[in-house]
Amino acid sequence: MSNSDRNERKTFAVRCRGEGGNGTAVIIVNASERIVGEVVMQYLRAKPEGYRQCAQSSLLEVQPHDESEFADERVSLEIPGVVLEYLYPEGEEVRIPRLVYIDDAQELADKLDALQAKANSGRGVSCVRTIVHSLRRGDFSGARACINNESDKIRSHKDIVDVLERTGLWHRIDFDKWGAGSSDCQTA
């Protein structure tokens, strides 16, 4: 790999494990391969409890984003540095990652608020207002829950879906992978 490849900004999924495997997180970061570990360590040091997640950069597990378990999350390369953080809850049998950080959550909330205000002849979209409120409070799990629960209402607003998809909060399901188009499904 040439030095120019190591200096090119790419998206990485960086796993860091806390003491005894507790406090495990996956941090999605846009950086060059050369400095990705240092970017994550600066992010962790800035958090009040970040020192518990990783003691040194040599303990970080770095892999290309498209090879990680979060490969289906669309991440824009426009934002340098840490973009998303997922925390695996301690003490739970099923360790489903929870989104705990989005870069520029206020900007995202403002963009969604502006888009929803234009929808439905200016009446807006009430479930998107709930998402906006959750993002402004920093309640990412609440925002994601609302998105999941109200996806049937949200999906009719393509501009809102596009914004949510770019930030990794919306997932398009490829039904062809599951054979929805096969002859196994019969209609009456």
- Is the pLDDT assigned to residue 32 strictly greater than 60? yes
Distance CA 34, CA 186 (A): 53
Distance of CA 69 to the CA centre of its chain: 12
Most confident of 35-49, 105-119, 137-151: 105-119
Q: Are 54 and 37 in contact (CB under 8 A)?
A: no
Give the residue, 74 or 113, on which the prediction is more confident: 113
Secondary structure string (H, E, C) spanning the chain: CCHHHHHCEEEEEEEECCHHHCCCEEEEEEEECCCHHHHHHHHHHHCCCHHHCCCCHHHCEEEEHHHCCCCCCCCCCCCCEEEEEEECCCCCCCCCCEEEEECCHHHHHHHHHHHHHHCHHHCCCHHHHHHHHHHHHCCHHHHHHHHHHCHHHHCCCHHHHHHHHHCCCCCCCCHHHHCCCCCCCCCC
HSE-up of residue 165 (Cα within 13 Å, Cβ side): 13
**Percent of residues, the chain, with pLDDT higher than 70:** 74
Average pLDDT of the residues in 114-118: 93
183 confidence band (pLDDT: 50, 70, 90): very low
Spans of all domains in the chain: 9-102, 105-166
32: nearest Cα among 52, 12, 48: 12
115-125 mean pLDDT:
92
- Percent of the chain, pLDDT > 90? 22
Comparing 10-19, 37-46, 50-59, the range with the smallest average pLDDT is 50-59
